[in-house]
Structure 1
Amino acid sequence: MTRMSRSSGFDVLADEAAGRLVSERPDVIVEATGRFTTSRRRATDFFTRSTAVVGAAAERSGARHVLLSILNCTRPEVQGYGYFAGKTAQERAAVADGRDATIVRSTQWFEFAAQNLERMRVGPVAFVPGMTIAPVALAAVATVIAEVATGHRTEPVVEVAGPESMSLWAMTTALPHPGVAPVPLPIPGRTGRAFRDGALLPEPEVEVVGPAFREWLAAARR
């Protein structure tokens, strides 16, 4: 199995990346690339180029392609957020022309709160967008991906979420010693309302995996 990540070898998605993946003779390629940006153009360019590389490598090697994506990123009301627009384009590219790709969508990981503080930091403060989500443990998502990769799950699309709904603000203020002062940041317009009002929350049929956020925090402190 080969996992494509943002390591130095693939950070720029060089033309030889597909050849390097093929040379490893993978059975499965798990695509979990990422680039933080709110620009639709940059996100779409990055994610579609990533999937073009992986798709080509999968076809040449006969490997299965597993794409990690975000739950509800394809909903129309969140396309105003460039990152989600890029992920939507990536999903379409993964299955274009009849390609056989499995898409695993998860809600935001527990680490998202701390990552947001780093990305949105301005001096001694960090802005926290208004979002309502059902965060999930990365380890639980990784287990699901492993089950897909090993053939224990065979659905073309697998969706998972954490066990509880909460705001990003609640997650952030629960973090011990964040090292920066969080400041609420209302997102204007349709996208902001969608984020706040639950567009990122799972539908009732979505599978719930992993522990609750505060259980995860308590375990991390031990």
Structure 2
Amino acid sequence: MKIAIVGATGTAGLATTAAARRAGHNVIALSRATGVDLHTGAGLQEGLTGADVVIDTSNAFPASSDADLVAAFVAATRRLVEAGKQAGVQRLVHLSICNIDQPAFDEFGYYLAKRAQEEVLATSSLPHTIIRSAQWMEFALNPAAVTATESDVRVEDWSVQPVAVASVADALVEAATGDPRNRQIAGPSKIRLPELTRALLEATGDPRPVVVTEPSLPALAEGVLLAPDDAELLGPTPAEWVSVQRASA
């Protein structure tokens, strides 16, 4: 099968590209680096030509911080859907986030943008699958919650149930190649984000201490990010994931 992966140079895109190739599929890796721009549509239809299915792992952040994030994400998804239809793509698999519809995120721009993308797909005539993922293990060093300095690493006290991005990638490829149902996926274990960051730093030989800070949104500490009741829990555990990082450090 020929699979086009949009956002192929991002964390999820790289993992999904690798997973699709391991499974023996022909991969078309699409990103700004390959001349594909979701904001203008440049190179998009050409990039999708010949693809059987497209997996969208992109984060279509606008170039200007003053731009409307929701509008930018909506426009990007609409362009992708239309280009996919024109190119004859059979299905679009979209990577989203667990719990984006929780009221706690009603003023959270990024989650509002992800909600809006799902709404675009819901009204589209292009067959699609939505895979909602919990935060990834790799979020342990994500600047959205982690500020690293030379002397310490400051981490917001989020309660998370992280899933390895490699497991997310496998689920995306499964959806593209034979299991088209919508799914919610998370990791098997709950953990505080500072604990995950501390374990990763220790495993990779980073001596900087972790300083726990208050989350920007109180609900992040109270469990709003934990796996929904109907989520599938996919390994590895945080300890197993950290062990892999230690071995590759």
Q: Specify if TM > 0.5.
A: yes
* 1:204 match: secondary structure: coil
Query: 2:21: which partner in 1?
Result: none
Query: 2:116: which partner in 1?
Result: 89
Q: Superposition RMSD on alpha carbons, in Å?
A: 2.6
Does 157-166 or 40-49 show the bigger shift?
40-49
- Structure 2 length as normaliser, TM-score? 0.76
Given the alignment of the two structures, is residue 60 of structure 1 paired with residue 86 of structure 2, yes or no?
yes
Q: What is the 5 A alignment of 1:1-222?
A: 1-5=3-7, 6-8=31-33, 9-10=35-36, 13-23=39-49, 25-34=50-59, 42-63=68-89, 64-116=91-143, 120-121=147-148, 124-151=151-178, 153-155=179-181, 157-175=182-200, 176=202, 177-178=205-206, 181-188=209-216, 192-222=217-247
Where does structure 2 lack aligned partners over 5 or more consecutive residues?
A: 8-30
The runs of 4+ residues in structure 1 deviating greater than 6 Å are none
- Structure 1 length as normaliser, TM-score? 0.84
How many pairs does the alignment contain?
A: 215
Following TM superposition, by how much is the alpha carbon of 1:142 offset from its aligned partner in structure 2, in angstroms?
1.1
Q: Distance in 2 between matches of 1:83 and 1:178?
A: 31
Q: Percent identity?
A: 28
Q: Distance in 2 between matches of 1:148 and 1:179?
A: 40
Q: Distance in 2 between matches of 1:80 and 1:179?
A: 37
Where does structure 1 lack aligned partners over 5 or more consecutive residues?
A: none
Query: 2:11: which partner in 1?
Result: none
Q: Deviations over 1:89-130 (max 9, x none)?
A: 111122224443210011111111123389634564443222
**CA shift in 2, pair 1:200/1:119, >3 Å:** closer
